[in-house]
Amino acid sequence: MSTPIDPVSPIGIFDSGVGGLTVLRALRRALPAEEFLYLGDTARVPYGNKSPELITRYSFENTLFLLDRNVKIVVVACNTATADALDRLQRHFSRPILGVIEPGARLAAERTRNGRIGVIGTVGTVASGAYETAIQRFRPGAEVYAQACPLLVPLVEEGWLEHSATRLIIAEYLDPLLSRGIDVLLLGCTHYPLLHELIAAHAGPNVEVIDSAGAMAGVVVERLAAIECARQQGTGGVQFFLSDRHPHFKRLGERFLGDSIEKIELVNY
Ligand code: DGL
């Protein structure tokens, strides 16, 4: 029998590193009274080029870390972890576990007018076909063109958010999708919202560039309301846990999050 969920408990969220803070930012906006535990698996980042079996193991370990701290719900902010492990996590644990792919896919399916959708993500996310499957559920017959962009995560981690090299690489990755006549481009990776402006500038005015962070927050709000576990009062806050030191976490994180990061705890699990 599962134990009752205490509405005062925090919300757990994990990512392979700093990128999930874009999701945390949307969650904090939507749920200002909530307490969050953010786990960045910086010891094992990147996830995007690793096997589904390894990512599933990491995802179980991350989830257990958060559940041990009595979180009421787990948000898998990482697209690769969602693609590779969400189903198994949901089957294994009784606490609600939510991932970023379905909210993003639904949004893309709603926004497209011509039914041609581009998706960019890591090698692992694209290889899984998870976005195609989810988009087809919301818009049967949609043409989905997915492109792996493995160089974008390191560029973001390096903080090259306006660099000319980043512009060149974006053009290289996006042009094959643009030539298909897509009218929506879904950023299927935690890190890409940081390159939103550069990507949108290259995609041009006929392509709407969207990410799943806002849609994800909406799903978390709905789920907490459905299980009557939303925190009604309080000022909220975040505790940050990292599995290793990260040279840019504070600086980049503050940019991703739009807020200051005072304290980071290094953890071994
Ligand atoms: N968090 C990953 C994702 O959204 C990107 C970074 C990584 O490869 O670990 O797919």
Give residue 2's pLDDT: 61
Answer for the pair 19, 190: CB distance below 8 angstroms, yes or no.
yes
Is the pLDDT assigned to residue 60 strictly greater than 90? yes
Query: What gap in Å lies between CA 241 and CA 68, rounded to an integer?
Result: 13
Is the pLDDT assigned to residue 76 strictly greater than 60? yes
Residues with CB under 6 A from ligand 1: 15-17, 19, 45-48, 78-80, 121-122, 125, 153, 189-191
Segment 64-70 shows an average pLDDT of 97
- Ligand 1 centroid distance, CA of 253 (Å): 15
Segment 62-68 shows an average pLDDT of 98
| Share of residues in the chain with pLDDT > 70 (%) | 99
Is the pLDDT assigned to residue 169 strictly greater than 80? yes
Is the pLDDT assigned to residue 33 strictly greater than 60? yes
CB neighbours of residue 245 within 10 Å: 10
- The residues, ordered by sequence, that sit 6+ positions from 87 with a Cβ below 8 Å of its Cβ are none
- Ligand 1 centroid distance, CA of 46 (Å): 6
Q: What is the mean pLDDT of the chain?
A: 95
The domain defined by 102-212 folds into Rossmann fold (3.40.50)
The tokens describing 63, both together, are 């989830």
Query: What gap in Å lies between CA 51 and CA 31, rounded to an integer?
Result: 34
Preceding amide of 46 cis, omega within 30:
yes
Nearest CA to ligand 1 atom 2: 78
Give residue 257's pLDDT: 87
* pTM of structure: 0.95
DSSP state of 72: S
The helix (run of H) or strand (run of E) holding residue 250 is: helix 249-257
- Ligand 1 centroid distance, CA of 230 (Å): 28
| Share of residues in the chain with pLDDT > 90 (%) | 86
Which region, left, alpha or beta, applies to residue 244 given φ > 0 means left and ψ of -120 to 50 means alpha? beta
- Distance from the first to the final alpha carbon of the chain: 26
| Position in ligand 1 atom list of the atom nearest CA 46 | 9
Is the pLDDT assigned to residue 264 strictly greater than 70? yes
Residue 165, classed as helix, strand or coil, is: helix
Segment 248-253 shows an average pLDDT of 87
CATH topology identical between 11-99+214-266 and 102-212: yes
DSSP state of 49: T
Query: What gap in Å lies between CA 99 and CA 74, rounded to an integer?
Result: 9
> Domain-by-domain residue ranges, the chain?
11-99+214-266, 102-212
- pLDDT, greater one: 142 or 214: 142
pLDDT digits (tens, 9 = 90+) for 82-92: 999 999 999 99
Nearest CA to ligand 1 atom 6: 46
Segment 64-89 shows an average pLDDT of 98
Give residue 157's pLDDT: 82
Of 18, 39, 45, best ligand 1 pocket probe by most atoms within 8 Å of the beta carbon: 45
- Measured at the alpha carbon of residue 125, what is the angle toward residues 120 and 29, in degrees to the nearest 5? 70
DSSP state of 12: E
- Give 259's pLDDT tier (boundaries 50, 70, 90): confident
The tokens describing 127, both together, are 């290889």
Nearest CA to ligand 1 atom 8: 48
Residue 221, classed as helix, strand or coil, is: helix
The tokens describing 85, both together, are 């492990």
Segment 177-203 shows an average pLDDT of 96
Give residue 89's pLDDT: 98
Query: What gap in Å lies between CA 249 and CA 40, rounded to an integer?
Result: 9
pLDDT digits (tens, 9 = 90+) for 96-121: 999 999 999 999 999 999 999 999 99
Of 58, 80, 157, 256, best ligand 1 pocket probe by most atoms within 8 Å of the beta carbon: 80
Is the pLDDT assigned to residue 136 strictly greater than 80? yes
Residue positions annotated with a catalytic role: 78, 189
Is the pLDDT assigned to residue 204 strictly greater than 70? yes
- Ligand 1 centroid distance, CA of 179 (Å): 26
CATH of domain 11-99+214-266: 3.40.50.1860
